Structure 1
Amino acid sequence: MKYKLNLFFGIVFLLGSCANNKSDDFICAPEPMPKYDYRASIIGEMTPQLDSVLRIEKRREIFKPCRIYAFDAAFYSASNELLSKERILLMATGKRWEHNPEKQDEILVKYEFDKESIDNINLYQLNKSAISNEWWQTVSTGIRENVEEIWMHPFRSNQYNFTEVAPFPQIKFPLSVGKKWTDNDIKLQEGWGDWSHMKIRSTFEIQSKETIQTTYGELENCWKVKAVSNFDLGRSEVTYWFHEKFGFVKLNYVNYGDQKLHIELAEIKDN
């Protein structure tokens, strides 16, 4: 199948919001970039009016509005059986994400799955109480890009829902080999089946800076990060490579059921 990235924008999609389960029509129509993201310096409500809010200079360089990234994704069982192979498209809309507008921009994620394979792939889902035969095709979710960090919700729909209990892709500036940090902010709410109300604790370490090969081509000076998460049902890990121009260009997951997911950059389209 030939994927034509320029069809992703300029065409109206039926958008399924992963947060509120409603459908909206959406096209790429960027708004002026805010000057700041906001982060509370104490635990409390996120609002720019509070004295306790820190202003962080905003960036839109990797998640450039209307730029489309295409990724190839291969999902494997614990016995290394290939369960699915598909393309995932990601586009930043140039708007704030409505569910966290103080801190996050919106991205659209489009999954090019084979509908005839859904029933078979669902047999391998770890979260049995969250299995659905109606998979999302296009979803809206959030990312953060500023002078302190780059952070994104993972590809977490359909057969990839286990990435919600794995470390979220992220980078903390400044970058250096050996740098470590933790992320204990993920606590799942109602609606995540077996995982509802569980808290995920993740650790990260930048291991090296190296040249890697992707479907997109050879990429130099990629920061290799090893991340591990633990929650009530087990441990998941992801090794990912971050490129300072293109972002998270390769991600290799091993979830707590020993299933594997390999994602790598395949194509870029700027409009």
Structure 2
Amino acid sequence: MACGRTERQPLGAIQTEIFTRNKEFTYLVSRSDGQQLVPTDTIVLTSTGRIWDRDATQKNIGWSNRTAGARSGTGGAESPRGVWIHPPRFGEYAILELSPFPEIRLPFKPGQVWDWELDVGSYWSNPAWAMWQGQMPVKTHYKSVGQQRVATPLGKLECQQVNAVARCSAGQAKVSLLFHPQHGFVELDYVNIDGGQVRFQLLSVGVVNEFDAATYFSKQ
């Protein structure tokens, strides 16, 4: 892999799994034009329900933009103690490698804090946001904020909010996320290291049968 990370403890299985076989989570992506957020893209997270071959403590998931023909396979973990996933990192989304990764600790407790450190290799550097040599430590601080009932395309959902800040020698990035126990990460509102705001909003959740997701993402 192009980047290293501190070892995460295995999360194991959960009672009601979110990332089951060939399950699709479709997100609307909006970006700030300096005055307001404007929809710019739609991307899909697909879970395979299988163990990720690069890390046995994680499940294989993948992100794709089928309009552009871009996709990437990666991993995520879930258990009664928490849910954590890699963000999309192909093309313009590679900047998210320097932002807080989506994570929530369970059972949810407002005020709970935790930290995580990721060593990001120079493979991820880009003159558009940051350049460096070797491994750059990125330290992320998370805090559970509280619960709120929000209107979404899936209806009104009781969501749990977590705010996080990632800091490194190149600067800092933030995310405010909303999590639902059945649908996972409902919203991811980023301010990235370049100061740009990007928001992911969950549009739909379903099961797709027209392809084997595990095989699809292994072809990258």
**Shorter-chain TM-score tier:** 0.7 to 0.9
Q: Distance in 2 between matches of 1:80 and 1:98?
A: 43
Aligned residue type for 1:199: P
Q: Are 2:51 and 1:96 aligned?
A: yes
For each residue in 1:219-253, what CA deviation from the matched residue of structure 2 results, as whole angstroms up to 9, or x when unmatched? 1x200111111011111100000101111110110
Report the counterpart of residue 260 of structure 1 in structure 2. 197
Q: Aligned match of 1:215 in 153, 164, 167?
A: 153
For each residue in 1:10-37, what CA deviation from the matched residue of structure 2 results, as whole angstroms up to 9, or x when unmatched? xxxxxxxxx58xxxxxxxxxxxxxxxxx
Report the counterpart of residue 152 of structure 1 in structure 2. 85
Matched residue of 1:178: which SS? coil
Aligned sequence identity (%) = 25
Q: Distance in 1 between matches of 2:17 and 2:122?
A: 34
Q: Aligned match of 1:178 in 103, 111, 121?
A: 111
Report the counterpart of residue 128 of structure 1 in structure 2. none
**What's the TM-score once normalised by structure 2's chain length?**
0.81
**What's the TM-score once normalised by structure 1's chain length?**
0.66
Gaps of 5+ in 2: 126-130, 209-220
Report the counterpart of residue 105 of structure 1 in structure 2. 59
| Contact 2:114-2:143 within 8 A present in 1 as well | yes
Aligned residue type for 1:99: R
For each residue in 1:95-127, what CA deviation from the matched residue of structure 2 results, as whole angstroms up to 9, or x when unmatched? 221211x2111012111456xxxxxxxxxxxxx
Gaps of 5+ in 1: 1-18, 21-42, 47-53, 115-135
| Contact 1:181-1:203 within 8 A present in 2 as well | yes
Q: Aligned match of 1:165 in 98, 123, 132?
A: 98
Given the superposition, is the C-alpha separation of residues 57 and 108 from structure 1 closer, same or farther in structure 2, using an over 3 Å criterion?
closer
- Greater mean alpha carbon deviation, residues 189-198 or residues 151-160: 189-198
Aligned residue type for 1:105: K
Report the counterpart of residue 34 of structure 1 in structure 2. none
Tell me which stretches of 4 or more aligned residues in structure 1 moved more than 4 Å. 80-84
| Contact 1:76-1:261 within 8 A present in 2 as well | yes
Q: Aligned match of 1:269 in 200, 206, 210?
A: 206
Higher relative contact order (CA 8 A, sep 6+): 2
Given the superposition, is the C-alpha separation of residues 65 and 235 from structure 1 closer, same or farther in structure 2, using an over 3 Å criterion?
same
| Contact 1:86-1:113 within 8 A present in 2 as well | no
Given the superposition, is the C-alpha separation of residues 55 and 212 from structure 1 closer, same or farther in structure 2, using an over 3 Å criterion?
closer
Q: Between Structure 1 and Structure 2, whose CA radius of gyration is higher?
A: 1
Q: Using the TM superposition, give the Cα deviation of residue 177 of structure 1 relative to its aligned residue in structure 2, in angstroms.
A: 1.1
Matched residue of 2:123: which SS? coil
Report the counterpart of residue 120 of structure 2 in structure 1. 188
